[in-house]
Amino acid sequence: MSALEITYDSRQDRVLLKTGLDVTQPDWWITRRIAKSILVQLGASVQAQIETQQLIERLTHADDSQDVGVSEAVNDAEKRAVENSQTRLSRNNECISQVDTYPLAIKHVLEVQSSEMTRLSLIQENGTGIAMDLPQAGVIRIKQMFMQLFEQAHW
């Protein structure tokens, strides 16, 4: 997946998510409600993936006494994702031009595809949408980007 960019437009009070994908509609508006829901689900997804990995490690290495806590593992995974990230977040205080050219996501779906891959789908009113397959580091990075967004946008 290409680098993501999230831009907050204070006049629209929305977020423009630029995916960098080679599709008909690569850039999408996301409302505050959708952004909050995505953030909650991304956090739960990260936690579940790490808990699953730890359970697998415990089962395969039952004699090891090294047990790292889930929150510590989440923090370590998030640090690694930041170090390898090519994404950026910016706050735009001026109105984004051609506002109506970007579809508005009214619904999203977050699906765990495998232990290493999660799919984030954005869907507009007519039922069409975009699906982004994200590795675990990408999920962590997007979660962090949304957390920064909420802080910067004072949501």
pLDDT at 97 over 70: no
Q: Where are the domains of the chain?
A: 5-153
Task: Report the distance separating Cα 88 and Cα 80, nearest Å.
Answer: 16
Whether the Cβ atoms of residue 101 and residue 25 lie closer than 8 Å to each other? no
**Per-residue confidence (pLDDT) for residue 80, from 0 to 100:** 52
**Per-residue confidence (pLDDT) for residue 139, from 0 to 100:** 87
**Per-residue confidence (pLDDT) for residue 60, from 0 to 100:** 83
Q: What is the pLDDT of residues 107-126, one digit of tens each?
A: 999 998 887 889 999 999 99
Q: What is the pLDDT of residues 127-152, one digit of tens each?
A: 999 999 988 888 888 888 889 888 88
| Phi and psi torsions of 73, nearest 5° | -65, -40
pLDDT at 8 over 90: no
Q: Which residues pair with 119 in a beta bridge?
A: 111, 133
Whether the Cβ atoms of residue 123 and residue 105 lie closer than 8 Å to each other? yes
Q: What is the pLDDT of residues 44-85, one digit of tens each?
A: 888 887 787 788 888 887 655 555 565 666 556 555 544 444
Closest CA to 78 of 4, 23, 138: 138
Give the global pTM.
Answer: 0.72
In which region does residue 48 sit, left (phi positive, over 0), alpha (psi from -120 to 50) or beta (all else)?
alpha
**Per-residue confidence (pLDDT) for residue 95, from 0 to 100:** 58
| Phi and psi torsions of 64, nearest 5° | -75, 140
